[in-house]
Structure 1
Amino acid sequence: MKPLVAIVGRPNVGKSTFFNRMIGERIAIVEDMPGTTRDRLYGDTDWNGREFTLIDTGGLELGGGIPVGQVGLSGQPGDIMNHVTSQVQLAIEEADVIIFMVDAQAGITAADEEVADLLRRSKKSVILAANKADNAKRRLDAVEFYALGLGEPIDISSIQGVGTGDLLDLIVEALPPADEMEEEEEEDIPRIAIVGRPNVGKSSLLNAILGVQRSIVSDVPGTTRDTIDTEFEYEGRKIKLIDTAGIRRRGRVGAGVEKYSVLRSTRAIERADVTILLIDASEGLAAQDTHIAGVVHEQAKGVIVVVNKWDLAQQQRRDEREGKFARPDDEIDSAEHYRVTLAEDLKFIPYAPIVFASAKTGYHVKSILEAALHIAEMRYLRVPTSRLNEVVQEAIRRHNPTVIRTKPLKIYYATQARVNPPTFVFFVNDPQAVHFSYERYLENRLRDAFGFKGTGIRLQFRPRSRNEAR
């Protein structure tokens, strides 16, 4: 197990900038606005041959305030900040070493003193880092942070990279000895991304699966703005869950924080094996849902379409019946009608199973997880070349390829090139002669023969080389 190092401090002291520099990529959102980071972010890094996991956290405001521009969950200041504080406290509990980051430009504030008091009581190893020490004067002024009672402050500049090497030396020195950490071999862990429009219940579903308050849950759209990776075990099998920010259509993406959230959510789809596409049952399928499904399909990912908040939709249906409760068979008919309509609107992903669920009540949550694991297994299915070509030749006998530009298509043989996603290469006389309808026909025949339920597959057509033609 890699040791954990948490970065904590009040809002806007540069925690995310430091996190991104250490990880080597822009994982955390960086904006010159307090409160941008809300959930915990994890990233692996190493220094002097020692690997550890860095945790970026939201800004602590223990006085109950809320950053400028933020709104509480109930419309009152402090609601979201209470969630942020609980997330930071969890990070402190998890961490082996804590970096307490302060602002050398602003000097000591009342919020710094409150955080320092919290860290002293944690009994954890704390390194005091005075960030934004971008010039000689600020580096000299950093000595005032001795007053916080957490030892000698180290002055750094996360933007310029000044002093970060010295800070990393201190971190590695404070880590538990390597022989005390359990070594764990790298495994192929199924990666499942929860995606969907804002406010469809993605974080609620993640929490329902885990049974713990891992992500901030609220009814404010866009509460989750960073992707959140959570690794856990289910029936002895390791799984990585990715909770993402709500994705909006490109034309509706605003600047700043939301822009980076959309980019991050798209990247989350890219690195996932299986995606859980959440749809709000009471609102039905929207253009944004179709857009997300299109992204998943283009990248040939596994996908489950989950109609969330199904309990609320059923209650609305009962209310529409003027107080007359629907019989169980009426509710089944309603689900089947919904399923048929949804399948028609998402006909470009006919392989995707549709599950009706409620993250709030836990209805069908276990079924979602089990379906995702089955799809993950399908993505690693390998088809013997001999059996593959039997199926292909039978498909050709049943339906000859469409003639394009007077040149008939000839398929010589096929082979499976890779898994995750399953990719099949067809060697032909002319790739340009492959009509999209015939490609879809071949895909359907492969699915009929080998399954691949829930996952996208790729078909590639290549000309046969002269050596192969002989």
Structure 2
Amino acid sequence: MSVVAIVGRPNVGKSTLFNRILGTRRAIVEDFPGVTRDRNYARITRYGTPFVLIDTGGFEPASEDHLLAQMREQSRLAIEEADVILFVVDARQGLTPSDEDVAAMLRRSEKPVLYVVNKVDGFSQEAAAGEFFALGGDRLFSVSAEHGRGMDDLIEALLEALPASAKNDALAEDETRLAVIGRPNVGKSSLINRMIGAERLVANPTAGTTRDSIDTPFAYNKKRYVLIDTAGIRRKGRVQEKLEKYSVIQSLKAMERAHVVLVVLDAEEGVTDQDLTVAGYALERGRAVILVVNKWDLVEKDQGTMKKFTENVRRAFKFLPFAPIVFVSALSGQRVSKIMGEVERVSVEFNRQVPTSALNKVLEEAVISHAPPMVQGKRLKFYYMTQTGVRPPSFVVFGNHAAGVHFSYERYLANKLREAFGFNGCPIRLTFRNRGGRE
């Protein structure tokens, strides 16, 4: 998936532009510089061509202020990750030396740059925008991110500038891609080396050794797989200057390309909030998930240790009750061989297709066992169900009041599908539509 970075000096309207492209108010917007200090990112799907959009803190090339230096480093990281850059300047303030410094740096990146002159709310700003041609762009996009003025032309140019996707599921239906995801220093690279039996990746006890996603093709039981190692995902506030260049975007892009996600946990540290966040990313993207508890050899054990740890994991990952749990040691190789067995089983479920007749039998029995609730004085009715896709298994249920289906009843139907057909290790997507087709 392509990445688009929004960069520019503080207070030129980058976050407002981010929100305008996203279509919702997600980035904090205030009328003073420095509000956005870290990279903010979102997956954009509303234009037909999905891409990841990064909002960054203001870029002040010459400032020695520590906070501004951190913000500058965040912008540099975003530029490194980006396929296309939106360089935002302020029509009201006019061209500044800092704008020229940023433009020079972007030219050195040799990446496509769209020059966006923001805060053009009328003819006077439009006339003054021409001075920004001095930055070297052959086209300027005069916009008002706050009011939406000029956005259609900018979006059209942005979509044209996006590179063709390098990966396509349709081109590799016979291979299964595994993304190895987790916090820094949980042993992801060591685990991959142990799984494929070679020192393919640099493994180092220093957190953050891996900075890019690395693909490793291999075969298992005469089937093709690709292991994707990723940089550790760490809270954005922990990413500091040149010391820690962990790329959240690279990990999210790895999930986009993956079919199965191995979420690696540290047995010594237990489950952390960041582990839950990482797993949540995988669930949001509809990926099959396996929870891999690494460094199990370092835990003091008795007869009930694994059972107790499993209960704690299940309680913490209550949104992933279907995910298998594997306890391993990448260092010693203990139980690592069990991972691929789980991957094979989960892959079968991820691609499972169920006949419509069998689905509707389960739907009928589910409704008889637990009738849908009343909505606006009328009983919800479901007429039939059909499967619309795999990876993940996706279903549409047709009824008389799609908007009235409560999430608890949706969860009930999903559980009934699991009881009947399995789908272990992967999410189920249910969509409800009125019989006329409206969701």
TM-score normalised by length of structure 2: 0.60
Q: How far apart are residue 402 of structure 1 and its match? A: 2.2
Q: Is the 8 A contact 1:402 1:409 kept in 2?
A: yes
Superposed CA deviations along residues 152-209 of structure 1, whole A, max 9, x for unmatched, are xxxxx98289xxxxxxxxxxxxxxxxxxxxxxx9552001111011100000000001
Name the SS of the counterpart of 1:442 in structure 2: helix
Query: What is the rounded CA distance, in whole Å, between the counterparts of 2:391 and 2:432 in structure 1?
Result: 18
Distance of aligned partners of 1:403 and 1:274 in 2 relative to their CA distance in 1, 3 Å threshold = same
Q: How far apart are residue 221 of structure 1 and its match? A: 0.8
Residue pairs, 1:15-414, within 5 angstroms: 159=110, 186-254=172-240, 261-314=247-300, 330-331=302-303, 333-414=304-385
Aligned mate of 1:417, from 388, 392, 395 = 388
Distance of aligned partners of 1:256 and 1:383 in 2 relative to their CA distance in 1, 3 Å threshold = farther
Partner residue, 2:412 = 441
Superposed CA deviations along residues 390-429 of structure 1, whole A, max 9, x for unmatched, are 0011000000112244343211110000111100011121
Q: Is the 8 A contact 2:231 2:251 kept in 1?
A: yes
Q: Which amino acid aligns with 2:110?
A: I
Name the SS of the counterpart of 1:383 in structure 2: coil
Distance of aligned partners of 1:454 and 1:187 in 2 relative to their CA distance in 1, 3 Å threshold = closer
Name the SS of the counterpart of 2:379 in structure 1: coil
Q: Is the 8 A contact 1:225 1:258 kept in 2?
A: no
Aligned-residue identity in percent: 47
Q: How far apart are residue 291 of structure 1 and its match? A: 0.6
Task: Flag structure 1 segments of 5+ consecutive residues without an equivalent.
Answer: 1-23, 28-156, 162-184, 318-329
Query: What is the rounded CA distance, in whole Å, between the counterparts of 1:350 and 1:251 in structure 2?
Result: 30
Partner residue, 1:86 = none
Query: What is the rounded CA distance, in whole Å, between the counterparts of 1:396 and 1:271 in structure 2?
Result: 37
Q: How far apart are residue 255 of structure 1 and its match? A: 6.1
* CA RMSD in angstroms, aligned pairs only: 2.6
Query: What is the rounded CA distance, in whole Å, between the counterparts of 1:378 and 1:235 in structure 2?
Result: 17
Q: How far apart are residue 248 of structure 1 and its match? A: 1.7
Q: Is the 8 A contact 1:404 1:435 kept in 2?
A: no
Distance of aligned partners of 1:257 and 1:188 in 2 relative to their CA distance in 1, 3 Å threshold = farther
Residue correspondences, number: 279
Query: What is the rounded CA distance, in whole Å, between the counterparts of 1:357 and 1:291 in structure 2?
Result: 22
Distance of aligned partners of 1:188 and 1:398 in 2 relative to their CA distance in 1, 3 Å threshold = same
Q: Is the 8 A contact 2:213 2:254 kept in 1?
A: yes
Distance of aligned partners of 1:160 and 1:357 in 2 relative to their CA distance in 1, 3 Å threshold = closer
Task: Flag structure 2 segments of 5+ consecutive residues without an equivalent.
Answer: 5-107, 113-170
Q: Is the 8 A contact 1:277 1:303 kept in 2?
A: yes
Distance of aligned partners of 1:193 and 1:158 in 2 relative to their CA distance in 1, 3 Å threshold = same
Q: Which amino acid aligns with 2:353?
A: R
Distance of aligned partners of 1:214 and 1:394 in 2 relative to their CA distance in 1, 3 Å threshold = same
Distance of aligned partners of 1:186 and 1:341 in 2 relative to their CA distance in 1, 3 Å threshold = closer
Query: What is the rounded CA distance, in whole Å, between the counterparts of 1:203 and 1:464 in structure 2?
Result: 50
Name the SS of the counterpart of 1:190 in structure 2: strand
Q: How far apart are residue 295 of structure 1 and its match? A: 1.2
Q: Which amino acid aligns with 2:426?
A: T
Query: What is the rounded CA distance, in whole Å, between the counterparts of 1:186 and 1:302 in structure 2?
Result: 17
Distance of aligned partners of 1:187 and 1:347 in 2 relative to their CA distance in 1, 3 Å threshold = closer
Partner residue, 1:114 = none
Q: Which amino acid aligns with 1:230?
A: T
Query: What is the rounded CA distance, in whole Å, between the counterparts of 2:241 and 2:272 in structure 1?
Result: 23
Q: Which amino acid aligns with 1:233?
A: A
Superposed CA deviations along residues 100-124 of structure 1, whole A, max 9, x for unmatched, are xxxxxxxxxxxxxxxxxxxxxxxxx
Larger Rg: 1
Name the SS of the counterpart of 1:216 in structure 2: coil
Name the SS of the counterpart of 1:191 in structure 2: strand
Q: Is the 8 A contact 2:188 2:229 kept in 1?
A: yes
Q: Is the 8 A contact 1:351 1:453 kept in 2?
A: yes
